[in-house]
Amino acid sequence: MIPAKLIEDTARELMARAAIDIPPDYREGVRLARDREKNRLARFVLDEMLENWNIATAERRPMCGDTGLPRYYVKLGNEALIEGGLVALEKALRRATADATASIPLRPNRVHPLTREDHNNNVGYHAPEVTYSIEPGGDWLDVTTVHKGGLFGTDWRMLFPGDGVPGIKRFFVDTLIESGKRGLACQPAIVGVGIGGSKDTCMRLGKEAACLRAVGTRSPDPAAAALEEELTALGNHIGIGAMGFAGTSMVVATHVELAHTHTGGMPIAMHQFCLSSRRSTARVFPSGTVEFRTDPQWFTDYYRRQGIE
């Protein structure tokens, strides 16, 4: 049985790692973008980003003043047992969030939407969010924390089936230009695109694609994988580079996730995980062992299953 206290301690450590240490896959993606960038100012900005991350890691301080909206993705092995059950798990995650906000510190961004009351701990109504998934054949628990900003860089549209891939490309480019010109996202970004399902499904998939896939991974669906490459190239030919300067470094990677959808429509959602691409994962075993890693491994074959078993 997995102790609830161990989950709380692990979640608190994950909060610190996510806020301070940029994952190596994203760091490498930005380094490659820097090497490709021809614009002097955009290249300078990318150099400063890389140096900023080095300083944050060396001094153990958050790499961005806006520490986003902390949230969790929890994947349970089918045989996992948690001391106190799922209620104890959620209480542990809320305590870890409040403790981490004070100790790291994280900026207390969560406020009451009407009164603007701030509990100063990033905990409140539906805060932090917890998204669940299950996996067959395991007695472990994966906890991933993501600190994604909650303001801009996200959009949604209902396309018609006849819009097809060209319609997806138009929506992708329109959204990037809009966010780039108005300063609504901090490039370079990992762009997650959710296509299909219902409105809420494609919104969820787009966010997970941006936040939970490692840069350099490709969709196992051939059509989605081809679209990922094409969209990334389109994004980097818009003419906007790092932090809005002219350049070719707007998109580090594009991740596309699919859901079978209604035959009469094609919902699509886009999320940009900005230059502060903060995530961290740990697997907690009932033995008390904790294994930290940077790849959430959220999108498994089981998670993307299509058939009847």
Q: How does pLDDT run across 191-206, given as a tens digit for each residue?
A: 999 999 999 999 999 9
Dig out the tokens for 174 from the structure.
Answer: 């329109």
The whole-angstrom separation of Cα 274 and Cα 279 is 12
pLDDT at 276: 85
pLDDT above 90 (res 60): yes
The whole-angstrom separation of Cα 36 and Cα 73 is 33
pLDDT above 80 (res 175): yes
pLDDT above 90 (res 47): yes
DSSP for 89-139 reads: HHHHHHHHHHHHHHHTTPP---B-TTT--B-SSS-BTTBS-EEEEEESS--
The model's pLDDT over 84-138, given as tens digits with 9 standing for 90+, comes to 999 999 999 999 999 999 999 999 999 999 999 999 999 999 999 999 999 999 9
pLDDT at 176: 94
Q: Select the more confidently predicted residue: 11 or 274.
A: 11
Mean residue pLDDT of the chain comes to 95
pLDDT at 150: 72
SS3 percent helix, strand, coil of the chain, rounded to 5, is 40, 25, 40
**Spatial contact of 194 and 203, defined as CB atoms under 8 Å apart:** yes
The whole-angstrom separation of Cα 100 and Cα 43 is 34
Sorting pLDDT into bands at 50, 70 and 90, what band is 239?
very high
